């Protein structure tokens, strides 16, 4: 498990987060799953057909832009808005902190200029306070691609096909264009024990690039349970494909403590290539 959340996505709690997303498998000529019909024969023909369409779309989508999006930020100047919230069990706001920071300069000599900040309330981290990083807004964001795009996501493995629903959803407006939307969701019966509960991918209709991904998961540890939802959306700028927004929400349930709900959002704007002066 990766302690990613505390180091870059949300500095306000030590949450265990392992992100997985679509990776290539199969081909258009032989749709993924076709050879395993005899083994996994409990699905209806409609379910099989839709599953194969979704898996083929996953396999053919261009994932390179989102794989490189955070790397491109290291070669760009940008403004980052970052807000963290803690909510109680009824989702009433306990505390929040938000900052807007301008990132500029070259790697190794970056500048982090605070534009504005605001906060209210007092965060209650409990056990997780020991992992909090107070300087996350004065660091470039961590590259999330390795957590989003694993080579072998469980929901793309043939042995797990019956544990998930595979659905094509209505197109969605994403930025300046339409995106095709594909969803994989754990079945209530056969998929009950799966950590990954739902994955939703947004593929740009014009470029076939994977431009956004949402992932919901449940992680169980010895002393806590975490239910998390994560979303990343990228944008095409003059500096290349870079993040547009990231959102994260995590509910932590521990023995003898009320549930803790943390939510973060980051937005990236005014992205420009770093100008190297001769």
Residue 129, both tokens: 């306070």
- Measured CA to CA, the distance from residue 74 to residue 80 in angstroms comes to 13
pLDDT of residue 133: 46
Yes or no: say if 167 and 187 are a contact pair by the CB < 8 Å rule.
no
Q: Which residues contact 135 (CB under 8 A, 6 or more apart)?
A: none
Q: What is the pLDDT along the chain (278 residues), one digit of tens a residue?
A: 333 333 334 333 333 332 333 333 333 333 333 333 333 446 677 778 889 989 998 889 999 999 999 989 888 999 999 998 998 888 889 999 999 999 998 877 888 999 999 999 888 876 555 444 444 555 678 777 777 777 788 888 899 888 899 998 999 988 788 999 999 999 887 666 788 889 999 999 999 999 999 989 888 877 778 888 889 999 999 999 999 999 988 888 888 878 888 888 999 999 999 876 55
Burial of 271 (0-12, 13-18, 19+ CB in 10 A): buried
pLDDT of residue 241: 94
- Measured CA to CA, the distance from residue 115 to residue 256 in angstroms comes to 40
pLDDT of residue 167: 92
pTM: 0.77
Q: How distant is the alpha carbon of residue 75 from its chain centre?
A: 22
SS3 106: coil
């Amino acid at each position: 498990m990766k302690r990613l959340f505390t180091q870059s996505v949300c500095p306000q709690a030590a949450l265990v987060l392992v992100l997985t997303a679509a990776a290539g498998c199969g081909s258009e000529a032989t749709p993924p799953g076709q050879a395993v019909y005899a083994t996994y024969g409990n699905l209806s023909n409609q379910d099989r057909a839709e599953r194969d369409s979704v898996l083929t779309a996953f396999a053919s989508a261009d994932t390179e832009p989102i794989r490189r999006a955070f790397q491109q930020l290291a070669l760009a100047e940008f403004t980052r808005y970052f807000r963290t919230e803690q909510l109680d069990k009824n989702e009433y706001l306990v505390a929040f902190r938000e900052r807007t920071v301008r990132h500029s300069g070259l790697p190794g000599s970056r500048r982090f200029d605070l534009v504005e900040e605001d906060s209210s309330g007092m965060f209650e981290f409990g056990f997780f306070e020991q992992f909090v990083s107070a300087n996350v807004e004065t660091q470039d964001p961590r590259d999330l691609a390795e957590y989003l795009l694993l080579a072998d996501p469980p929901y793309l493995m043939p042995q797990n096909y019956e544990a998930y629903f595979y659905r094509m959803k209505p197109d969605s407006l994403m930025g300046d264009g339409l995106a095709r939307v594909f969803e994989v969701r754990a079945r209530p019966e056969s998929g009950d024990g799966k950590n990954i509960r739902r994955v939703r991918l947004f593929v740009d209709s014009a470029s076939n690039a994977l431009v956004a991904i949402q992932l919901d998961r449940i992680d169980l540890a010895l002393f806590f349970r975490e239910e998390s939802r994560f979303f990343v959306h990228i944008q095409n700028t003059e500096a290349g494909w870079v993040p547009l927004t990231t959102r994260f929400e995590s509910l932590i349930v521990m023995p003898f403590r009320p549930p803790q709900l943390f939510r973060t959002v980051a937005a990236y704007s005014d992205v420009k290539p770093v100008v190297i002066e001769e």
